[in-house]
A and B are shown apart, each in its own frame.
Chain A
Amino acid sequence: MKPSRLQTVLDCSPADRVPFLPAIYEHKAWFVKDTPSNVASDVDLFTRAVLAEYEALQPDALTIGIDVYNVEAEAMGCEVIYYDGDDTSIPAIGTDGAAFTEEDNFSTVDLPDPYKDGRMPINLETARNVKRAIADEVPVRGALSGPFSLAANLVGPERLFMLTVTNPEFVKGLLFFASEAAKRFGEAYIKEGCGVVVFDSQASPELLSPKMYREFVLQPTKSLIEHFHKLGVKHVPLIIGGNTTRILSAYLETGANNILCDFSANVDEFLSECSERKRAFRRNIDSTDFLAAPASVLHERAVAALEESRGYPGYVLGTGVVPYGTPLESLLAIRDAMFEYDNKLSRQ
């Protein structure tokens, strides 16, 4: 079977064009004119939403996930707030939603069962349906919470940040537990013929120091990614938002490929480090004003991001999280910029 465009780029081999991976999670629901709360809880809606996203945007991979940080935590007892009626807010774990405290002994806590607990089965069935519908046209990946982000939901983010100082050994144990939970969910996706994407933005250096990233997050993340490599998943993307330039070396040490160079990160350093280690990265364009900015502005922003790539074969064009309700023409303008860039390169 011919490798997908994305696979080729993740191998840092020349592809026919730069892959396009807009970050569409809650906005999936917009494609079926429903709310994130409804779509995240219903296999049929969820499947239709992912397929509608695919049809409208033709991204180079699909990710199964709406409220990507909640699923494992909810399956372990954390309380997710859903919104009623036509409220398009994103389901979230509330300030009182944590299911555990530092008093809990995680060596005795059961890992979640992806086929039974919470909405994990909904996500898996959606992945199965999408795979059935599109076969191998583009990779389908299941979204997983990274160890630090899952741990933050399990005990509460503020509590977890405090515990890194007051009870570091507890945090280390908790992160390995969280890593095991992610492994189990990831294995289920892999059995469906999908890849995985690990999301861990709570571990961003905007919040956690590079030293703490190394001390707490690196090893459980490495263990998670190695596990998926052993199961035959060659490339495991790891998404950490914000300016990750300060943790770039540890980020690469996780073993992840297709790491995130968010719009605030230093693309030159990513180009230099990633080309040296033959790794791919996704450069995000800023999505904070996607609802208001004219499509022409987003087009220009995409052109600028593509120019920054300087033809690096491991470069993927992405966006920050696309807000619910972003006009289709805005996303297509970004896509058009990518085609124009490829045409320009092929003429040179």
Chain B
Amino acid sequence: MSELEHLAQLMEEGNAATVAEVTQQLLNAGMAPQTILNDGLIVGMGVVGEKMRTGEMYLPEVLQSATAMHAALKLLKPLLARDGVKPLGKIVMGTVKGDVHDIGKNLVGILLQGAGFEIVDLGVNVSPAKFIETIEQQKPALLALSAMLTTTMLNMKTTIEAINNAGLRSKVKIIVGGAPVSEKFAGEIGADAYARDAVKAVGKVKELLAVAA
């Protein structure tokens, strides 16, 4: 097993301290940060996503892996910036107004960071006005909206309508997700895409922003 395959396997096991330690060892041995990220961490997280889809892994294990990814990214991010690796795009994300759930959103944020995107996370219970203000200031390529409840998912619609009314809709792609959200609902409220889980979200975002997978 190669060192990078080993790292990918450690990602599945989700021990943050070990993943960070091995990442540091690979850096010390002269491996390029982007290689570690693409061929070790992201590969491992892809397996985690697949196992989640097939019911071999559940949220607790996926959170462990995401935390491990986060720990490794802390080491890699300054080095990627030093090497001139530009983010693939800027993404603003948040859980819509009235909803304070953030586990899914945080997972998506970590995976998108891992995939090379810059994330501006507005947190939970975010008002349409706050999303608009941030779009105007940050000029993201994409907005990711999350909702966990059947009652709060309707605020995704309100948010998209407000963005429309503010004349910003053509400037930003919008992806939505969360337990009660569906492809059909995403279409009905005028989102550009829906992702049913965090791993799918990365693929959809890449598609929307025409970034090579």
Is A81 touching B125 in the complex (CB atoms < 8 A)?
Answer: yes
Nearest neighbor of B150 in chain A, beta-carbon distance: A288
Contact of A162 among B64, B149, B151, B188 (CB under 8 A): B64
For the complex formed, measure the closest distance between the CB of A84 and the CB atoms of chain B, giving whole angstroms.
13
A-contact 0/1 string along B63-93, CB 8 Å cutoff: 1100100000000000000000000000000
Contact status B151-A94, CB under 8 Å: no
Q: How far is the CA of A292 from the CA of B106 in the complex (A)?
A: 29
Contacts of B151 in A (CB 8 A): 26, 90, 321, 323-324
Chain A 265-290 per-residue mask, 1 if CB under 8 angstroms from chain B, else 0: 00000000000000000000001111
In the complex, chain B residues 101-145 whose Cβ is within 8 Å of any chain A Cβ: 101-103, 106, 123-125
B123 touches A161 (CB 8 A): no
Q: Is B166 an interface residue (CB 8 A)?
A: no
Q: Is B31 part of the contact surface with A, judged by Cβ < 8 Å?
A: no
User: Is B106 touching A158 in the complex (CB atoms < 8 A)?
Assistant: yes
A191 to chain B, nearest CB (A): 32
Give CA–CA (A110, B154) in the complex, Å.
39
> What is the CA–CA distance of A26 and B99 in the complex, to the nearest angstrom?
14
Segment with Cβ contacts to B, from A55-63, A113-121, A204-212, A296-304 = A204-212
Please give the distance in Å from A12's CB to the nearest CB on chain B: 30
- Establish whether residues A92 and B100, one from each chain, have CB atoms under 8 Å apart when the complex forms: yes
Contact assessment for B60 and A162 in the assembled complex, using a CB-CB cutoff below 8 Å:
yes
Task: State whether the Cβ of A157 lies closer than 8 Å to any Cβ in chain B.
Answer: yes
Which chain A residues lie closer than 8 Å to B154 at the CB level? 291, 323
Q: Is A95 an interface residue (CB 8 A)?
A: yes
A158 to B14, CA, bound (A): 15
> B61 at the A/B interface (Cβ < 8 Å)?
yes
- Residues in chain A near residue B123, CB distance under 8 A: 95
Q: Give the distance in Å from the alpha carbon of A93 to the alpha carbon of B100 in the complex.
A: 7
Q: Which residue of A lies closest to B153 (CB)?
A: A288
Inter-chain CA distance A93–B148, complex, in Å, is 14
Of the residues B55, B64, B98, B182, contact of A165 by C-beta under 8 Å: B64
Contact with B60, one of A92, A165, A288 (Cβ below 8 angstroms): A165
B179 within 8 A of A: yes
- Most A CB contacts (10 A, CB to CB) among B14, B97, B101, B150 go to B150
Compute how far the CA of A44 lies from the CA of B100 in the bound complex, rounded to whole angstroms.
28
| Contact between A95 and B100, CB atoms less than 8 A apart | yes
Report if A208-B124 is in contact (Cβ < 8 Å); known contacts: A288-B150, A323-B154: no
Greatest chain B CB density within 10 A among A166, A246, A290 is at A166
Return chain B residues, CB-CB under 8 Å to A90: 98, 149, 151-152
CB-CB contacts of A195-235 with B at 8 A, as 1s and 0s? 00000000001111100100000000000000000000000
How far does the alpha carbon of A157 sit from the alpha carbon of B180 in the complex, in Å?
A: 18
Question: B62 → chain A, closest Cβ, in Å?
Answer: 9
- The answer to whether A94 and B100 have CB atoms under 8 Å apart is yes
**Contact between chains at A81 and B59 (CB < 8 Å):** no
Distance to closest chain A CB from B197 (angstroms): 11
Hey, which chain B residues are within 8 Å of A166, CB to CB?
64
Q: How many residues of B contact A (CB 8 A)?
A: 31
Residues of A within 8 A of B102 (CB): 95, 158
Whether the pair B97, A208 counts as a contact (CB closer than 8 A) is no
Cβ of B63 to closest chain A Cβ, rounded Å = 5
A207 touches B58 (CB 8 A): yes
Nearest CB of A to B11, in Å: 14
Minimal beta-carbon separation of B150 from chain A (angstroms) = 5
The interface residues of chain A lying within 8 Å CB-to-CB of B61 are: 165
Which of B59, B97, B151 has the most chain A CB atoms inside 10 A of its CB? Answer: B151
Q: Which residue of A lies closest to B97 (CB)?
A: A89
Closest to A161 in B: B60
Among A83, A209, A288, A324, contact of B58 (Cβ-Cβ < 8 Å): A209
Known: A89-B97, A162-B67. A95 touches B150 (CB 8 A): no
**A residues 301-324 touching B (CB-CB < 8 Å):** 320-321, 323-324
* In the complex, per-residue mask of A78-91: 1 if CB is within 8 Å of any chain B CB, else 0: 00010100011110
Asked whether A208 and B185 contact (CB < 8 A) given A288-B150, A320-B150, A324-B151, the answer is no
A83, A88, A161, A208 — which one has the most chain B CB atoms within 10 A of its CB? A161
Knowing A165-B61, A287-B150 touch, does A157 contact B103 (C-beta < 8 A)? yes
- In the complex, what residues of B have CB within 8 A of residue A157's CB? 101, 103
CA distance A207 to B197 in the complex (A): 12
Decide: A212 and B58 in contact? CB cutoff 8 A: yes
Instruction: Using CB atoms, name the residue of chain A closest to B67.
Output: A162
What are 9 A-B interface contacts by the 8 Å CB criterion?
Answer: A88-B98, A89-B152, A90-B151, A95-B123, A157-B103, A162-B63, A206-B179, A321-B151, A323-B151
B contact set with A: CB distance below 8 Å: 14, 55, 58-61, 63-64, 67, 97-103, 106, 123-125, 149-154, 179-180, 182, 185, 188
> Contacts A90-B152, A290-B150 given; 14 further ones with Cβ under 8 A?
A88-B98, A90-B98, A90-B151, A93-B100, A94-B125, A95-B102, A95-B124, A162-B60, A208-B60, A209-B55, A209-B58, A212-B58, A287-B150, A288-B150
> Closest 10 interchain pairs by CB?
A89-B98, A209-B58, A323-B151, A161-B60, A92-B100, A207-B59, A164-B60, A288-B150, A94-B100, A165-B60
